[in-house]
Amino acid sequence: MEKGSDQTIIGDNLPNIPWENKPKDCFDVVWRSERNPIIPRDLIPSSNSIFNSAVVPFNGEFAGVFRCDDKYRNMRLHKGKSKDGLNWDIDDEPISFICDNSDIATFVYGYDPRVCWIEERFYVTWCNWYHGPTIGVAYTHDFKEFYQLENTFLPYNRNGVLFPRKINGKYAMVSRPSDRGHTPWGDIFYSESPDMIHWGHHRHVMSANFGWQSTKIGAGPIPIETTKGWLMIYHGVLTSCNGFVYSMGAAILDLKRPWEVKYRTGPYILSPQKLYECVGDVPNVVFPCAALTDATTGRIAIYYGAADTVICLAYTQVDDLIEFTQTNTII
Ligand code: BMA
């Protein structure tokens, strides 16, 4: 369905985002790119794997921050650029964050970045080691220099995802308090900040519950503002007898009180089924970290890591995903 003037997405028109029409024989609300994986594990000389990464529109083209685990198996963040969102030029050197506070400046590891355009800056959030995993924050104007700010929370926390505008006059973030290991539990919480430094007003958003999202959940791409609420694509984890299985779902949060969940998918919208999702360094993982949207057509292109090894693309239409979330809600 192509949208006319009554747009559902409250956002920019980006006719140049990657897009492929839904295959005729596909009955799902989200469908994969025929080009998957769009970024191979060895795109740069130093990488063991490239996955769970964030992309944004940048100067009419695209830029991103990429999780590249190197051949020592260090978890690093690298910057990259692309003309079409499909073919990426990723720096072989990791980002060297500029940080004027020596207390927190030592980079131990960084993974699962998200990038959010808010108030004329691109903010990067990621899982940052500071005596345990927590949420690091930096900003850039040009994808050349990145200025690191305070960590948002005490350890242990992961999956810190900013909202793309202030809400009730405050910066807003969802995150997933966790532990120092692989977290056999975990709910999504909402926090706000007057200055991107001090965070509080913590509110519970939603819990892991059953099926594909029974073990833990975490927000994925920057929530998409729509006329129906914040559309939040997230991951959920099931513990099978062979380990964790990561799938993707969607929820709609109240625009003014985003800790209130209006709808949430009972069935997953994408689960690891293709070989590149089931086989890799960590099998059975689809892990979304970014989405590009076009308000005019309602197109959404979702970037997700597959099997902790490569980056893939999937597509959906905003009205169809909202309708699916409402029709299949467990709220
Ligand atoms: C989580 C994170 C993700 C990863 C997933 C599956 O704890 O580390 O980066 O994709 O596990 O290994």
Asked if pLDDT for residue 206 goes beyond 50, the answer is yes
| Cβ(287) – ligand 1 distance below 6 Å | yes
Note the pLDDT of residue 5. Answer: 58
Phi, psi of 326 (to 5 degrees): -70, -45
Indicate which atom in ligand 1 lies nearest the CA of residue 246: 6
Task: Summarize pLDDT for 49-73 with one digit per residue, the tens.
Answer: 999 999 999 999 999 999 999 999 9
Indicate which atom in ligand 1 lies nearest the CA of residue 282: 12
| Cβ(225) – ligand 1 distance below 6 Å | no
- Taking phi over 0 as left and psi of -120 to 50 as alpha, with beta for the rest, 85 belongs to left
Question: Measured between alpha carbons, how far is residue 299 from residues 12, 14, 81, 104 in Å?
Answer: 12, 9, 21, 39
Task: Summarize pLDDT for 162-196 with one digit per residue, the tens.
Answer: 999 999 999 999 999 999 888 999 999 999 999 99
Instruction: For ligand 1, atom 11, name the residue with the nearest CA.
Output: 182
CATH, residue 319 = 2.115.10.20
Average pLDDT, integer, range 8-35: 97
- In the three-class reduction of DSSP (H, G, I as helix; E, B as strand; rest coil), residue 229 is classed as strand
Note the pLDDT of residue 1. Answer: 44
Calculate how far, in angstroms, residue 306's C-alpha sits from the geometric centre of ligand 1.
Answer: 10
Structural domain tally of the chain?
A: 1
Q: How many percent of the chain have pLDDT more than 70?
A: 98
- Taking phi over 0 as left and psi of -120 to 50 as alpha, with beta for the rest, 308 belongs to left
Of the pLDDT bands very low, low, confident and very high (cuts 50, 70, 90), residue 6 is: confident
Task: Summarize pLDDT for 95-152 with one digit per residue, the tens.
Answer: 999 999 999 999 999 999 999 999 999 999 999 999 999 999 999 999 999 999 999 9
Asked if pLDDT for residue 2 goes beyond 60, the answer is no
Of the pLDDT bands very low, low, confident and very high (cuts 50, 70, 90), residue 3 is: very low
**What is the full DSSP assignment across 269-331?**
SB-S-SHHHHSSSSSSBEEEEEEEEETTTTEEEEEEEETTTEEEEEEEEHHHHHHHHHHTB--
Cα–Cα distance, 257 to 149 (Å, whole number): 26
Q: Please report whether residue 241 resides in a domain.
A: yes
Q: Please report whether residue 29 resides in a domain.
A: no
Q: Please report whether residue 18 resides in a domain.
A: no
> Ligand 1: which of 176, 183, 287, 311 to mutate, judged by most atoms within 8 Å of the beta carbon?
287
> Ligand 1: which of 244, 245, 289, 311 to mutate, judged by most atoms within 8 Å of the beta carbon?
244
Q: Please report whether residue 36 resides in a domain.
A: no
Average pLDDT, integer, range 261-287: 98
The pair of three-digit structure tokens given for residue 263, joined into one six-digit string: 């709808």
Q: Please report whether residue 24 resides in a domain.
A: no
> What's the pTM?
0.97
Range of the domain at 283: 44-327
